[in-house]
């Protein structure tokens, strides 16, 4: 497995698992998870979605040194400690949480994450790679901004073999569920490919 899709499964807790270094993308959105824990078994995780859960605190993410995209939108996070966020994050989404109303919230998060390119679907001005766009025409700059306003949600990967593996991994579900998952995943990949083109977000992993 390189991608695990466990969204909308009524999961209430993340249990302890054996080490899974090959997993780079984990979908856990729309569950009943209350605490971020036991994720150190995914040492190479690059994409994590915990959107739409019952999480009240950002914690236990420091072991995820490879994490580049984190979606914690629409949880119950009232206060945010930026020191709990992995410093290598490129994209962070905390929309729908009370912590976004903290005084100086955006300044605080951007200051704590030197590699951040996008926060709550809005581009971070002055981020790495922005200087490369200075010589572009105004029309192309507008196009870049428009692309960044779309929320990236999928894993950092590409390749035909990936979809074969994903289909096999989801074989326990009905054909309808498989079809929907693959379609959603393709949409996410398309969004991230646009980000790579315009922001050099990161290099995709080697083909499987």
Q: 44-91 pLDDT, tens per residue?
A: 999 999 999 999 999 999 999 999 999 999 999 999 999 999 999 999
**88 C-beta neighbours (distance < 10 Å), count:** 16
**Among candidate residues 147, 141, 143, 140, the one with its CA nearest the CA of residue 201:** 147
Query: Is the model's pLDDT at 5 over the cut of 70?
Result: yes
CB 107 within 8 A of CB 119: no
**For 182, what's the count of Cα atoms within 13 Å in the CB-facing half-sphere?**
19
179 Cβ contact partners less than 8 Å away, ≥ 6 residues apart: none
**Among candidate residues 94, 16, 101, 110, the one with its CA nearest the CA of residue 55:** 94
- pLDDT single digits (tens) 122-179: 998 765 544 344 444 334 444 444 433 343 444 444 344 444 444 455 444 445 555 5
Q: Which domains, ranges and CATH numbers included, belong to the chain?
A: 2-125 (3.80.10.10)
Token couple for 167 = 């289909």
């Amino acid at each position: 497995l390189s991608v695990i899709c466990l969204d909308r499964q009524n999961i209430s807790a993340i249990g302890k698992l054996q080490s899974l270094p090959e997993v780079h993308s984990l979908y856990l959105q729309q569950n009943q998870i209350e605490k971020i824990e036991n994720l150190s078994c995914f040492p190479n995780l690059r994409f994590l979605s915990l959107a739409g859960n019952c999480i009240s605190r950002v914690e236990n993410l420091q072991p995820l040194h490879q994490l580049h995209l984190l979606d914690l939108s629409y949880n119950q996070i009232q206060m945010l400690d930026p020191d709990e966020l992995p410093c290598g994050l490129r994209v962070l989404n905390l929309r729908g949480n009370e912590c976004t109303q903290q005084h100086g919230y955006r300044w605080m998060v951007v200051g704590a994450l030197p590699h951040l390119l996008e926060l709550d679907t809005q581009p971070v001005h002055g981020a790495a790679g922005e200087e490369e766009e200075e010589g572009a025409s105004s029309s192309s700059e507008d196009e870049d901004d428009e692309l960044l306003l779309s929320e990236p949600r999928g894993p950092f990967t590409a390749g035909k073999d990936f979809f074969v593996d994903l289909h096999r991994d989801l074989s326990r579900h009905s054909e309808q569920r498989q079809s929907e998952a693959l379609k959603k995943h393709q949409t996410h990949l398309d969004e991230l490919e646009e980000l790579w083109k315009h922001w050099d977000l990161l290099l995709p992993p080697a083909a499987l």
